[in-house]
Chains A and B, each alone.
Chain A
Amino acid sequence: MAATETTTYETAVERLEQIIARLDSNEAGLRETLELCTEGRALIEYAAGELDAVGQGLRELKLDELIARLEGGAQPPPE
């Protein structure tokens, strides 16, 4: 499975566990191994991106200010 918009951290990690188990079993052929490695790297990149998103620094917003900004026509703050 490639990382798509419906991918979540949980599904990515779960799939990674399956990939590692398959690779560790040494039952995968060459082509499958290469495909699993490619998929695994993509998932690792995705999961790392998710962890980075919650590792840069705590950000605190107030709901009232957020709504006031939205109602004023301003763009919501970026993630």
Chain B
Amino acid sequence: MAENGLASTLDAATPQPAGVEGYPGPFPVGRYAVKLRERMRDLARVCVVGEVTGARVGQGPNVYFELRDADGALPCAMWRTDFERARLTPDDLRDGAQVVAAGGCDYYVGSASASPSFRFRVQELRPAGEGDLLARLERLRRQLAGEGLFELQKRLPVARLPRRIGVVTAEGSAARRDFLAGLERRSWRGTIVWGYAPVQDRRAAPAIAAQVRDLAAFGRVDAIVVTRGGGSIADLWAFCDEALCRTVALLGVPVISAVGHDVDRTLIDDVSAVCCSTPTHAAEAAVGIDCAAARAHLSATAVRVDDHGRRAVDRRAPLAAATRRVDRALRRAVDRRGPLAMAARRIDRAGRRAVDRRAPLTTAARRVDQAGRLAVVRRARELASHSRAPRAQLNRHLVQLHQKAREMRAASRRGIDIRQGWQRRIAATVLDRKVAAARAGADRERTALAARVADLDRAARVLGERQAQALKVCRSSLDAHDPQRTLERGYAVVATPDGDPLAGTGALRAAGAFQVLMADGAVAAHVDEDREERPDGRD
């Protein structure tokens, strides 16, 4: 953004204090901030991807969070209405969640009492990787549809008035409450068998499949409802699990699914007998009639049937006498057919005996029926236990593996300790050897040093002797030049009374008084020019 460009959009008509040379303005800061906001909003709308941190989903109109990656961060704000329209939950903005945010730059201009701030205004948000999930979901949907698994459940009849309903959902969930409210609206008060299971994590799909299987095997239910509330596709992913969907598709009991909201379409919705949008709708699908209304209707039907019955009886009365007359005539005819009647009675008795003989057979058939039912239940339990056996075996193996892993960790710790002990010992030995070698070297150095010290001592002695000799020579030379030696040979030195030597006659005359220094002492003298000067110049 060019500052001058921004400045050109402002006019400085209002009298303002003097500015700074080379800079346009000064402009009122609020107007400048408004123009800055307009410029920021003009920047292109984009999608950014990053990791959520520090999300604040309070009661205010905005949801705040930051997006970060290794190279930078962006403060973000999203209107709560947009957040709720996207059916997002605070869990979608947990720290560390990867999301894709679409929107653009925005600037809150602040006021005299509010601080300004820059924000990336997010208009749409979805968890990163959701696109991958949707692609996988579509592949799986095509595969199961190709195998015909979407049709199996839909061929099962769904009772409109079930006595027992199995429900798989999370214990204490809102879906459970909504489902009960739906049943209450139907005035249905039969038996519910709850199969509680987690509905949102990696444990959810196997747990839901197990509950669905057990409900079909043991629950003696007329229908099974699988339900949970809304969420993102990642939250609902357990209901797209292939194993779960295959289990539901092959079940002999109709399954009614109600997962998420209207717009959510999980794979279990495709394979189930009935797909509903909410838990309440699932309750109304499971109980197809309003029981209170049905009772009232049935009472009215009973009245109508009774009316028809009474009218029929009334119509029958005049005929009854004729019928009786006809009966009597028939009986007379029968009596006339005595032998035939006798045979008929014998046949009748034989028939009764046959019926009597059939009674034990009926009893036996009932027993067989009961034994069959019991066998079916036992077989179902056996099959269910078999289906759980691999899981139990896996769990045992898992426990054993964990034990082995613990033992391996302990063994490796012991191994590390032993290895470290050996390393310490080896290091100590090496160090000892190095110390010994260093000591031997030091001894050698010390010996060599002592030899060098002795050499130096010798050299110093020789040098001292030579220096003493040289000194002696110097001393002899000095002694040779010493005037005292000359005096000892009989010479004398003429000097002032202060001791300064007088080198010529001129200096001697000038001094007047002088002293004569000889080897054994000094004699004071003075110049006496009155005496005759000897030709040799001597006094």
A and B: bona fide binding partners: yes
User: Which chain B residues in 166-193 approach chain A with CB under 8 Å?
Assistant: 166, 180, 183, 187-193
A54 contacts B220, C-beta separation under 8 Å:
no
A interface: dominant SS: helix
Chain B 235-277 interface mask (CB, 8 Å, partner A; 1/0): 0000000000000000000000000000000000000000000
- A-B residue pairs, 4 tightest by C-beta: A54-B190, A37-B309, A40-B305, A9-B161
Total A residues in contact with B, Cβ cutoff 8 Å: 39
Q: Is B481 close to A, CB under 8 A?
A: no
Chain A minimum-CB-distance residue to B191: A59
A56 contacts B189, C-beta separation under 8 Å:
yes
A30 contacts B381, C-beta separation under 8 Å:
no
Q: Which A residues lie at the B interface, using CB under 8 A? A: 8-10, 13, 16, 19-20, 23-24, 30, 33-34, 36-37, 40-41, 44, 47-48, 50-51, 53-64, 66-67, 70-71, 76, 79
Chain B minimum-CB-distance residue to A78: B191
A37 contacts B308, C-beta separation under 8 Å:
yes
Between A and B, how many residue pairs show CB distances below 8 Å?
Answer: 119
User: Which chain B residues in 273-313 approach chain A with CB under 8 Å?
Assistant: 287, 291, 294-295, 298, 301-302, 304-306, 308-309, 311-313
Interface magnitude class on chain B: 35 or more
Q: How far is the CA of A24 from the CA of B300 in the complex (A)?
A: 14
Which listed residue (B180, B194, B220, B294) contacts A51, Cβ 8 A? B294
Contacting residues, chain B, for A10 (C-beta < 8 A): 159-161
Q: How far is the CA of A58 from the CA of B181 in the complex (A)?
A: 12
Q: How far is the CA of A54 from the CA of B283 in the complex (A)?
A: 14
Q: How far is the CA of A19 from the CA of B313 in the complex (A)?
A: 17
23 CB < 8 A contacts A-B: A9-B160, A19-B305, A23-B305, A30-B319, A33-B308, A33-B311, A36-B308, A37-B308, A41-B305, A44-B301, A51-B291, A54-B188, A58-B183, A58-B192, A59-B190, A60-B191, A60-B192, A62-B193, A62-B194, A63-B166, A63-B195, A63-B215, A79-B164
A55 contacts B295, C-beta separation under 8 Å:
yes
B215 contacts A54, C-beta separation under 8 Å:
no
Chain B minimum-CB-distance residue to A44: B302
Q: Is B422 close to A, CB under 8 A?
A: no
B295 contacts A51, C-beta separation under 8 Å:
yes
Q: Is B336 close to A, CB under 8 A?
A: no
Contacting residues, chain B, for A23 (C-beta < 8 A): 304-305, 308
A70 contacts B218, C-beta separation under 8 Å:
yes
Q: How far is the CA of A76 from the CA of B304 in the complex (A)?
A: 40
Which listed residue (A34, A48, A51) contacts B312, Cβ 8 A? A34
Q: How far is the CA of A79 from the CA of B165 in the complex (A)?
A: 12
